[in-house]
Amino acid sequence: MPKQKQLVKDFLKRYNMDYENIDIEENCKIFIDEMKNGLEGKPSSLQMIPTYITVDREIPLEEPIIVLDAGGTNFRVATCYFDREKKPIIENYKSYRMPGTYGEISKEEFFETMANYIKPVLQYSRKIGFCFSYPTEVLPNKDGRLLQFSKEVRVKDLIGEVIGENLLKTLNDMGLDGNKDIVILNDTVATLLGGKAKYPDRMFSSYVGFILGTGTNTCYIEQNCNIKKAKDLAGKSGFTIINVESGGYSKAPRGLIDEEYDLQTVNPGEYSFEKMLSGKYQGGLIATAIKKAAAEGLLSEAFSKKFDKISELIAKDINDFLYYPYSKSILSTCCSEEGDDAIILYHIIDCIIERAAKLVAINLSAILLKIGEGINPCKPVCITAEGSTFYKSKLFKDKLDYYIKDYLNDKKDFYCEFVQAENATLIGAAIAGLLN
């Protein structure tokens, strides 16, 4: 092994950040136990939120619906309908900045901002499908009560509030048409629905929605009899989509650098799994590791001086370096022309992304093993994936594919297929709103 790579591996081992020490089998069992506890209403870091949304009805055709998507960075608005060939048609599309991402705002400002965003499309439909990408307790009437914010969004006094009800009330208070039927769902659930609609003729044994972008989350289809904490579901036959809220998983093996970086975030102690692998936190976590490595002499003094002047490192900066390690990136300009700075830096980034891929493999493998689907390679589980980190990271996807094949396919004989559906969250929100 090259000496630079060995230096980095030894460094990460000292801080318990080494991916090689993570046992997939052991961690899948722990993840499944947390899933079961969450479904039964026992203490768990996985909230396992019943969505009250099913996937077994026909989508009405040529009926318009207003669709909203509140994500980690953007708030998207559009209208959607399905034509006679069941193809989704998206119109009146606009993208805005997510309220609360540019400084703390009040609850009233939050809903007023959203109301102004959707004002231009209110006349198109009485139905709204609202993809709300934050931990939310979905109520039997398909509205949702906010449990907590993540992804660094800051709004005062919003925790515990019912999202759809407040939005419709704000519309009425502003003299706008708030007489709407609204369905709240998570972006991961919308992704699952969008993927299912994209491939109506494919044979899949089940469906999973997976987000790895600004944040991370998963959802899947669970038997109602296993959702013991929801009395109105547990006694019924059939299936319901479960929003896992996997970003909040707390049983993953964290290292000392994880813990140090966590203290720098807006919500220390919360969403530790998300902070180990999602795009919002990737730059900060890697920056923390780089500073530690520089302090221990793995990087040159000249590098350290230049790096200290960088106010913030983001996921794009990491990717730019991986593509252009000797030019065109913020990190490459810090590296000395002579010496091993760039190589050391590459191996630090590579190891942390490798660990992220292994953790995601645990998350997804645990779901398939829990539901027992995907044992026929001709009918794999369809995993609809969304998010810039999943699709744009230079290193991540190949590493994830390796762990899926090595553990899930070769060791367990379970099979899945990753698919991409354009505008999956908007289309999924439309399906949920039209069917419920």
What is the helix (H) or strand (E) element at residue 221, kind and residue range? Answer: strand 216-223
Q: How much is the mean pLDDT over the chain?
A: 94
Q: What is the mean pLDDT of residues 329-338?
A: 90
**Confidence check: pLDDT of 129 > 90:** yes
pLDDT reported for residue 69: 94
**Confidence check: pLDDT of 152 > 90:** no
The tens digit of pLDDT for each residue in 307-322 reads: 999 999 999 999 999 9
pLDDT reported for residue 151: 54
Question: Are 186 and 132 in contact, with CB atoms under 8 Å apart?
Answer: yes
Query: Where is pLDDT greater, at 98 or 337?
Result: 98
The Cα 285–Cα 349 span in angstroms is: 10
Question: Are 186 and 217 in contact, with CB atoms under 8 Å apart?
Answer: yes
Q: Which amino acid is at 285?
A: L
pLDDT reported for residue 187: 85
Measured between alpha carbons, how far is residue 363 from residues 16, 27, 209, 345, 419 in Å?
Answer: 20, 9, 12, 27, 17
For residue 179, count other CB atoms closer than 10 A to its CB: 10
Least confident of 61-75, 149-163, 246-260: 149-163
Measured between alpha carbons, how far is residue 285 from residues 131, 159, 163, 267, 427 in Å?
Answer: 28, 27, 32, 14, 33
pLDDT reported for residue 148: 83
**Confidence check: pLDDT of 68 > 80:** yes
Question: Are 362 and 31 in contact, with CB atoms under 8 Å apart?
Answer: yes
